[in-house]
A and B are shown apart, each in its own frame.
Chain A
Amino acid sequence: MTRAQKDKLTDILVILVWVLGLIILWEIGASIVAQTKRTPANVLPHLSQIVESVFSDKMVSNKQTAWQIVMSNAGITLWRAGLGFMIGVIVGFILALFMRYFKAVEKTAFPYLMMIQMIPILGMAPIVLAITKDINKSRIMIAAILTFYPVATNTLAGLKSVEKEKLDLMHSLAASNWHIYTKLLLPSCVPYLFTGLKIAAPMAITASILVDTLQGSGGLGTMLSQSLKHAISIYVFWQIVFVSAFIGILSYKLMSVIEKLYSPHEKAKAAKS
């Protein structure tokens, strides 16, 4: 067995231990809850009960099973978060370029960007809704607002981190601004950009779900709060817990995969070590 294979095996083992450990803890908790509480499913059901609810044909509302409700609303949430994420990425990236190019833009915009970031998302939600006058649009906008900040700051950091010698080299070649950006600045900020994307992607999804718990027309958050209020089966809630965790992790992984596709040199680096 080579070193790399050994490392991989260790990684898998670590994950297995974690998953098994969590399942055992969960089941111990569920067993205790089942004996002490009157409605154990509201506090901590057995994992088997949650899995069972996924495959159950029982209609819980509007001629939909629990799993159908979760899936259709996950679609709505993903659509909003995804669209908002993309808008945020584009706006954040362009803003970073402007801040690198015009010092004045950086000085003017940066402090206010930070302030927007400090407003709690639940406080921002009603304001955004009042502006957009549409639940759907407001959710997209919130995802965009949360996305653009990490993207803008990380991209800007990347643009600024370029070594002086590399810029000197471009100057010594009498390179145009276009070439300085396309051949040097933009490629150098790619790893930074992806750091931002990896932070922003799960955040956009979390925010989209969170804001929908306030008030909403569809989306995982709406169903989550209805389920907690017992308007629909509590198992909708438990399924959403797992589905949203899965989507969040998936969005992060997706960014990692795209990053690897865009940076073959990183792959060569990883293969070496």
Chain B
Amino acid sequence: MQTAETEINIKGLCVTFPDKDGGEDIHALTDVNLDIKQGEFISLLGPSGCGKTTLLRSIADLQKPSSGIISVKGRTPHEIRLSQKYGIVFQSPVLYDWRTVRRNICMPMEVIGLPKKERTRRVDAMLELVGLTKFGKKYPHQLSGGMQQRVGIARALALDPEILLMDEPFSALDEFTKEKLHMDLLDIWNKTNKTILFVTHNIQESVFLSDRVVVLSPHPGRVSAVVDIDVPRPRDLSSKGTPEFNALVNKVRNSFEGV
């Protein structure tokens, strides 16, 4: 990790929304500085209103910063978005209910115009990766919530993006499904070596998954700490509950301000 190159560099990022009722502007993010290395698993952790999703959306070029600079591989987020280097997974699976699982995963490849043969090959590979090979012909509503979210992940990975942006992808799932998907995600990350930005409000989740946890605090939204997670990899469920794991959870919890 020490030798890896900086993938995302954020300097003095501020995002301000005008208040709709004519009051003071809302400072969603103030003076965020962050360096993310290639292949890192980073969690953006914080309570609602801390601007963690805004930070993710700014990197994704879905939200314009008010001031400050974001550079991704030395280019602007806009350029990176246009070159389709981002894969995004949302809180809800955001599947097209009129398309089968296969054709949902296929959709981004249709947009960028990959030939049909290549699309079929990649869909097969993605279904294999997320363990849904048997469900390709099903429609989204025929799947469980956890399976739907896995389709969402497969779709995000289908274009082989360099950066995977995940916005509370597991927060709507039950604890058992969540744990299973945690292991699956670490496995996928291991196999693909993507840079992953993972937004969550769950402290345990962020500590279990990440290399580093970026702690954000609200009012105004800001980075209040960056905690290195040195729990050895590969991690499994037994990594949770160890004294060092609990110590890190406590360290993260104590670094919130003004909640």
Contact = CB atoms under 8 A, between A and B. Distances in A.
Which residue of B61, B97, B138, B142 has the most chain A CB atoms within 10 A of its CB atom?
Answer: B97
A174 B94 contact: no
B111 A173 contact: yes
A269 interface: yes
A109 interface: no
A183 B96 CA distance: 9
Interface stretch (A47-55, A161-169, A213-221): A161-169
11 contacts: A169-B94, A172-B62, A173-B111, A183-B107, A184-B96, A187-B96, A188-B98, A190-B98, A265-B97, A265-B98, A269-B141
Contacts of A174: 81-84, 111
A261 to B, nearest CB: 13
Given A168-B62, A171-B62, A183-B110, A268 B139 contact: yes
Given A172-B88, A265-B141, A268-B141, 8 more contacts: A163-B92, A169-B94, A174-B82, A174-B83, A175-B111, A179-B110, A265-B139, A268-B138
Contacts of B57: 168
Interface in A165-223: 165-166, 168-175, 179, 183-184, 187-188, 190
A163 B92 CA distance: 11
A6 interface: no
B47 interface: no
B112 A165 contact: no
A272 interface: yes
Nearest to A263: B98
Chain B at the A interface: SS class: loop
Nearest to A172: B88
B94 A166 contact: yes
A183 B141 contact: no
A170 B60 CA distance: 12
Nearest to B96: A187
Contacts of B208: none
B153 to A, nearest CB: 13
Contacts of B100: 265
Given A165-B90, A187-B96, A172 B60 contact: yes
A192 to B, nearest CB: 13
Given A174-B81, A179-B111, A169 B90 contact: yes
Contacts of A171: 62, 81
A268 B88 contact: no
A269 B92 contact: no
B108 interface: yes
Nearest to B82: A174
A173 B108 contact: yes
A163 B111 CA distance: 19
Nearest to A175: B111
Interface in B95-113: 96-100, 107-108, 110-112
In the A-B complex, the 5 residue pairs with the smallest Cβ-Cβ separation, listed nearest first, are A265-B139, A165-B94, A174-B82, A165-B90, A172-B88
Contacts of A175: 111
Contacts of A172: 60-62, 81, 86, 88
Interface in B65-88: 81-84, 86, 88
A269 B139 contact: yes
Contact of B84 (A173, A183, A265, A268): A173
Nearest to B94: A165
